[in-house]
Amino acid sequence: MSLGGTAKSHESETDRGGEMRGRVALVTGASRGIGRAIAERLASAGARVICTARTLEEGDHPSLEGSLHATVAAIEKQGGEAVPIACDVSDFSACERAVETARATFGPIDVLVNNAALTYFIPVADFPVSRWERSFAVNVHGPFYMSKLVLADMLPRRSGAILNISSAAAIGPGRGPYPKTQRRTRGGTLYGAEKAALERFTQGLASEVFDYGISVTCLSPSQVVATPGVVLHGLARSESDAHVEPIDYMADAALILCSEPAERISGRVTYSQEILAEYGRIAKAHGVGGERPGSGFSRI
């Protein structure tokens, strides 16, 4: 997809096509949706990509289409290099094994994209404790586990990029009273809290590793992306919905954040259309980060 535009641009590697040749990228949650799109985009820019998720084969997930083997096949069809590694990011031992296998296959990790996510839209009063803990382990512990492991490669080499995938759900509802329409939209409290924690984690880690030339950033869609999970939860019906943005927006924005130097973007919490408009990829940003302000962390 071509993202033409007239917004200001930056002279950088990204502007020359996001060249990532020679870099090794690890993308979690790469079996479908945004994770798959980012993995394919990084590969098209020359990165060798390790694709991780729990769904290795088509049909392994009871409700959703997509698999690591399908993602890798799509990358290889376009001439890219990728390997699938099954990994549950809520399990630190599984993360260790995945990173060790990735190193043995392609070498040290240059880029990490923490995209894997799991949530249930259930009001707090009804939330099963086991599901709450499971979701928190994937969405918050997982990015910590993977970041800790890849920093063992990045810190000695004084380079690298970590990108965390967030959501506009991190923007809270504010204080009451609440309109009836908002009160009826229940069940997103946990997911929003997890993504807010991820944004704070992003900026904290960015400050810790900035002197090592490592960038840590956070990216959310400006508008809903009709991924299989989003459709399953009834948040969108298809890509033709008026409030839906193309999945390519997240993939292209991710490439910018993964390839820009740390001194330019580290610690940034941003949105797909905001960053694409800033870099001249689209003419105007819509949704969050464009027509509406983002989270408090995005304004720091």
Query: Which residue from 269, 276, 220 is spatially nearest to 252, judged by alpha carbons?
Result: 276
Q: Say how far residue 1 (Cα) sits from the centre of its chain.
A: 19
From the candidates 195, 215, 220, 271, give the one annotated as an active-site residue. 195
Catalytic residue, chosen from 44, 67, 90, 166, is 166
CA dist 154 and 110 (Å) reads 7
C-beta separation of 114 from 27 below 8 A = no
166 is catalytic: yes
Q: Which of the following is catalytic: 145, 191, 249, 271?
A: 191
Strands 48-53 and 81-86: what pairing? parallel
Nearest alpha-carbon partner for 194 in 136, 113, 117, 123: 136
- Contacts of residue 73, Cβ cutoff 8 Å, sequence gap at least 6: none
User: What is the spatial distance between Cα 16 and Cα 260, in angstroms, rounded to a whole number?
Assistant: 11
Is 279 designated active site?
no
The answer to whether 238 is a known catalytic residue is: no
Residues with a catalytic annotation lie at 166, 191, 195
